[in-house]
A and B are shown apart, each in its own frame.
Chain A
């Protein structure tokens, strides 16, 4: 291939029919331009997820099932000296909530003004709005604040515990199923220049929340912000890269045609690649947005090499001879350089991340186009517009410096080699410590929308990292619900866990509403009824599916989530009961110890059992129970639940009920006999015994709660006291409730940990695999190409040594500085191995036909220009706003420069026997 007939024919053809070549290039450019207009933006960062990774698949399954993937978080901070409960603040939040709710594409909304509460009412509990209307005055605002902050589902979730901030959560509909435009409604969305859902929400929120500080977070805004910043970087940096390229080339060549050719060849390749992507229906992602700058960096050296050699040869040759000779000399090493550079990108065809794969192909193809342009367009234009020789191109001072460096390295070869070996050895340890970490936060620029939103969530809501546990089972079954509560309490006690939310809380509140007992349902029929009752409430759909076989436990975390995640995965794997059973005293002691741990108290379950075991329900002679029993019986007779009874019957039934409040055949018979019909009597019997049984339990639980709180050392005052009491009440009920013996779970319980950290883990794993695969593939390909070029294993290895040492230094440095590999830095290894090997390869190639001094004086300066071009091109990316671009640009530029510098030292040190 290096001097293949095809390449030679192409070169000869280009110089013989230059106009045809230029015309063909123009036609290609026009077609490519048309193609670029077909290119669509891909703003969804989820496309970067490795589709086959089980953790990613799990995350997607959870999202599909519960619709929890895309949640736009609108954070609201009250003005200084105010809180979110003032009349003005509540009015604004109400209006904003309504306006956001009305945005097409918002499936569901949660805020303090769009969430239900359950309060006592004339007929028992009522489902009402938590904030029915804005407070009328300051006193009402204070009362509202006290009320809202006393609700566990709201405090720390929808409103900060200090009342200074509120959160509006907009759950977005699945965009894949949302019609672009509904002709029937005349509503618009998304396409044709109309605002996307996120922007409509932003507009609505900013309009209604004037005077308050507003934050926009969550996946939709994070994706948009990252994409927009990367795109802005490209818009801003492409001209900078172009200018730098222009500056270096004009300084080197002092020839406008040479400059135009160098820039034009790269610009052409950028347009051709983007045009091809457009024609093929590919999308412009945050990754492909870096393509122009990368091609400016890595694709410009081909024209530079051809022109540099041409200007040298032109001194004693005609233009045709000079360009032909230049291409004959630089052709083979340029072909290898194009091959090694492009293979560094093409190696990403093994990537599990689809946009990365496309990006690799696009960049690799772009490099090849740059190379082909240097073989066709450059000679064609030179043939049309012959250029003179330029003395300045020789850059004598630079050549002399390179010669001096060569000799110095030769004289100190041992020191150079020992230093290189030591450096390589020193990097091994830190290199192994480099971790791949694909956290979305790594993509956030300090001060960007998602960064500010994260900060807001950390400050006001105890963290913005959410893990989820997806449970499958029979969630009508009371025992299964209690097993879910066991897992929930376990999670609550783990380090870094700030809040655990599940369907248990709305269920408990609904049971309280229906029965006056804030406990979990204890019969299947109750659970089924409650689900239907709460199904329409905001937020419930994200916690349980309509068929009630899937439940989500949402865990809000702060700081490093991994210790808690590891424990949750262990619990799900080893401790969760597949076949849930009715709760035991040991279960209650375990859960109490976990609740204590959540408040920093260490209480061993065995220790707690000493309190839990002796607890018993009040006996028949208990004075309080005796009094209460009598009152309940009287209430029953006065209610519509009782059948019409005469005084004698009432007396008899009251006596029987007081003697056997749990029910007896005698009581049933008496009611059946006294009622207008046996059916009415039977119904009355059920109502009465239910009332008595529940009140008996309530009394027992109310007595147990303070004892349990005291034993576990849980807080009895402060903002959490009410929540603690409610939790312990629900827990204590398990000591006294009797689950129906004939009811069992209809399917086993399973649990899988999902959520953002797990997704990041899957993403990291995929990138790590990509990194290893791409690096190995690049090394193998580059080695094969070097072998083909040099026909010598020794030279092939030597040509790769500087880039591999560079790689070790870069990654060793990252390990020492604890810089993780992210989406951007994962590219560096391939680029460094591929493009970095070019410098040594060029040196070695020319050393086979010229002395080292000649090579240093003639080829050296051109190589330096090329290195400067490549490095500057990458460093330009480091000027971008996007953190990923910073690191990638900086490291890629550094790797190119370091590869070149190490080439200048290692090659002479190793090749001491080569003639000078």
Chain B
């Protein structure tokens, strides 16, 4: 998921002062988000309900570039052992320990919210923006770029328009607004607390998503621990591994 990937960005070496286009900047962002071979991220997902209650879900994400991902849930108790395997953008599997079976999740559910949060399955599977969007640089200053993304012909996404604010130091988005074709903002992601977390990579401490369609319903992912380039093997990203929990 792009917000997770954002935690593992690296500084991308681009000559300062070069004439940049939107496509250049977006490429830098994608590169920064994926400039590691593998990573392990411990996180917690906070889902804030309208009545003020918050639910907390603990999980660990294993990532292997370009797009393999395994998410294992550790808390609460009824989620423990559950896992989601993303083989690629179009292929996802879920393991429910209560049934001791793996089931494939159709790409059709990509737009559905994930476990009642404001993240969708599409968020889980998307790792790069460039393949899906054309970018236009609308503003740039000393500290940031502002991009306007428009979905490419032939690409399907829930959000045909995106506006992104990119921090020049981290080459990472600080804020992303997802909009419909008419430009109405449907969802906003905000990245906070960029810091060098491991191996000179920048990562956010927290990602907050607000779904404006759901009455500004909010969810947050707080990153607890990050370990990069530790040599995760392909064996980890299999159904067998999903079932066995290791």
Contacts and interface: CB of A to CB of B under 8 A. Distances in A.
Contacts of B115: 532, 535-536
B17 interface: no
B215 interface: yes
Interface string B224-246: 00000000000000011001100
B243 A641 contact: yes
A182 B215 CA distance: 11
B104 A123 contact: yes
B236 to A, nearest CB: 14
A529 B76 CA distance: 11
Interface in A677-728: 680, 683, 686-687, 690
Given A185-B185, A525-B98, A683-B244, A126 B213 contact: no
Contacts of B49: 546
B100 A686 contact: yes
B98 A102 contact: no
B215 A640 contact: no
A123 B94 CA distance: 11
A532 B97 CA distance: 12
Interface residues of A, number: 61
Interface string A69-102: 0000000000000000000000000000010011
Contacts of B139: none
B50 A125 contact: no
Contact of B212 (A98, A104, A116, A124): A104
Contacts of A439: none
A352 B217 CA distance: 34
Contact of B103 (A67, A101, A514): A514
Interface string B107-142: 011001111110011000000000000000000000
A178 B215 contact: yes
A130 to B, nearest CB: 9
B112 A126 contact: no
Given A102-B186, A187-B184, A641-B243, A541 B116 contact: yes
A695 to B, nearest CB: 13
Contacts of A105: 213, 215
B106 A127 contact: yes
A99 to B, nearest CB: 8
A687 B239 CA distance: 14
Contacts of A101: 213
A570 to B, nearest CB: 32
Given A185-B185, A536-B115, A640-B243, A123 B79 contact: no
B188 A185 contact: yes
A59 B211 CA distance: 27
B98 A523 contact: yes
B180 A116 contact: no
Contact of A536 (B114, B177, B180): B114
A102 B184 contact: yes
Given A122-B104, A127-B108, A515-B99, A536 B216 contact: no
B109 to A, nearest CB: 5
A162 to B, nearest CB: 27
Interface string A96-123: 0010011111111000000010000111
Contacts of B114: 536
A123 B50 contact: no
Contacts of B184: 102, 104, 187
A525 B78 contact: yes
A525 B103 CA distance: 16
Interface string A186-214: 11000000000000000000000000000
Interface string A531-547: 01101111001000011
A690 B100 contact: yes
Contacts of B117: 536
Contacts of A529: 78, 82, 96-99
B55 A126 contact: no
Contacts of B103: 123-126, 513-514
Given A529-B78, A541-B116, A107 B104 contact: no
Interface in B170-192: 177, 180, 182, 184-186, 188
Nearest to A683: B244
Contacts of A536: 109, 112-117, 120-121
Contacts of A538: 112
Contact of A116 (B98, B112, B213, B239): B112
B106 A126 contact: yes
B212 A182 contact: yes
B51 A184 contact: no
Contacts of B243: 640-641, 683
B102 interface: yes
B216 A182 contact: yes
Contact of A128 (B78, B108, B116, B239): B108
B105 interface: yes
Nearest to B47: A546
A402 interface: no
B93 interface: yes
A173 interface: yes
A125 B108 CA distance: 13
B152 interface: no
B195 interface: no
Contacts of B212: 104, 182, 185, 187
Nearest to A187: B185
B94 A546 contact: no
Interface in A618-666: 640-641
A124 B104 contact: yes
A812 to B, nearest CB: 49
B186 to A, nearest CB: 6
A102 B159 CA distance: 10
A560 interface: no
A904 B108 CA distance: 78
Given A124-B103, A126-B105, A532 B215 contact: no
A686 B93 CA distance: 20
A174 interface: yes
Nearest to B57: A532
Interface in B59-112: 78-79, 82, 93-94, 96-106, 108-109, 112
A513 B203 CA distance: 38
Contacts of B82: 529, 532
A106 B186 CA distance: 11
A177 interface: yes
Given A174-B50, A182-B216, A129 B99 contact: no
A535 B101 contact: no
A64 B51 contact: yes
Contacts of A795: none
A30 interface: no
A773 to B, nearest CB: 35
Given A102-B180, A104-B184, A529-B78, A123 B98 contact: no
Interface string A501-535: 00000000000011100000101111111101101
Nearest to A126: B106
B74 to A, nearest CB: 14
16 contacts: A98-B180, A104-B213, A105-B215, A116-B108, A116-B112, A126-B103, A126-B104, A174-B215, A187-B184, A526-B96, A529-B97, A536-B112, A536-B115, A546-B49, A546-B116, A641-B243
Interface of A: 64, 67, 98, 101-108, 116, 121-129, 132, 173-174, 177-179, 182, 184-187, 476, 513-515, 521, 523-530, 532-533, 535-538, 541, 546-547, 640-641, 680, 683, 686-687, 690
Interface of B: 47, 49-51, 53, 55, 78-79, 82, 93-94, 96-106, 108-109, 112-117, 120-121, 177, 180, 182, 184-186, 188, 212-217, 239-240, 243-244
Given A546-B116, A683-B243, 12 more contacts: A106-B213, A123-B103, A124-B104, A128-B106, A128-B109, A178-B216, A182-B212, A515-B99, A525-B97, A525-B98, A530-B98, A687-B100
Q: Which 10 A-B pairs have the closest CB atoms?
A: A173-B215, A528-B78, A525-B98, A526-B98, A529-B96, A185-B185, A123-B104, A536-B113, A529-B98, A129-B108
